[in-house]
Amino acid sequence: MVKQTAGRDQLGEFAPKFAELNDDVLFGEVWSREGKLSLKTRSILTVSALVSKGLIDSSFQFHLQSAKKNGVTKDEMAEILTHLAFYAGWPNAWAAFRAAVEVYRDDAGTDGGLFGLGAPNEAFAQYFTGRSYLKPLTDSQETIFLANVTFEPGYRNYWHIHHAAKGGGQILLCTNGRGWYQAWGEEARELLPGDVVFIPARVKHWHGAAKDSWFSHVALEAPGEDCSNEWCEPGPCRQ
């Protein structure tokens, strides 16, 4: 459930019923119906409605920040506002862009960070909850395969296991943004640039981006015998 206290904080004494409807109904019930529409979709709809009405005020700034947290990337927001300009008016779009530039000013990681973004990871897209990108760094025919993997905000791969008769496993070298790693039966671990994760063979796990940040890591398969990869169910909700 989306937690909101702005109504009570600002109007709790003056208009308690309005505050209640704002905090408990609009945000506590409507925004929390993620089974019907995702938070990301609701953010896009809300931003679109506000731009169409020309309501580029502090509440619009809040909804832009929420959109970013809910996984609307800088590129997506730019495309949304460009599209809206033709329907909601050029001046409204200009005003919205000025606010969006401030909110997304520090939105680093869209370029893949240190090693670059690479191409959409279409070959393994069915095992990711959203969009990811892959940039090979070495030739697997010549040496150990290294690849830079970039996740859009909030997206991660499914639970999976690296099998091996001997040795094996995976190593992650975190290079950009903020992400998460979780091994089966353990608490999720936050990942930041400079972190290194060694995942032994036969350990079920997932990894990916935090909900409000792009995330990149270099992934390499540790040498081993009879190595294979098993994909399992999707990971937990976005963190």
Q: What is the pLDDT of residues 143-170, one digit of tens each?
A: 989 999 999 988 999 999 999 999 999 9
Sketch the domain layout of the chain as residue ranges: 1-32, 37-107, 113-231
The CATH H-level (homologous superfamily) assignment of domain 113-231 is Jelly Rolls (2.60.120.10)
Going by pLDDT thresholds of 50, 70 and 90, the confidence category of residue 239 is low
- The domain made up of 37-107 is a member of CATH 3.40.605.10: no
AA identity, residue 28: G
DSSP 86-123: HHH-HHHHHHHHHHHHHHTTT-TTTT-GGG---EE-GG
- 229 and 185 in contact (C-beta within 8 Å)? no
Say if residue 2's pLDDT is above 60: no
Secondary structure class of 66 (helix, strand, coil) = helix
Q: What is the pLDDT of residue 118?
A: 86
Going by pLDDT thresholds of 50, 70 and 90, the confidence category of residue 72 is confident
Close Cβ partners of 39 (under 8 Å, ≥ 6 residues apart): 2, 31, 66, 70, 71
Close Cβ partners of 234 (under 8 Å, ≥ 6 residues apart): 129, 158, 159
Q: Name which of 40, 3, 36 is nearest 153 in CA terms.
A: 40
Close Cβ partners of 111 (under 8 Å, ≥ 6 residues apart): 117
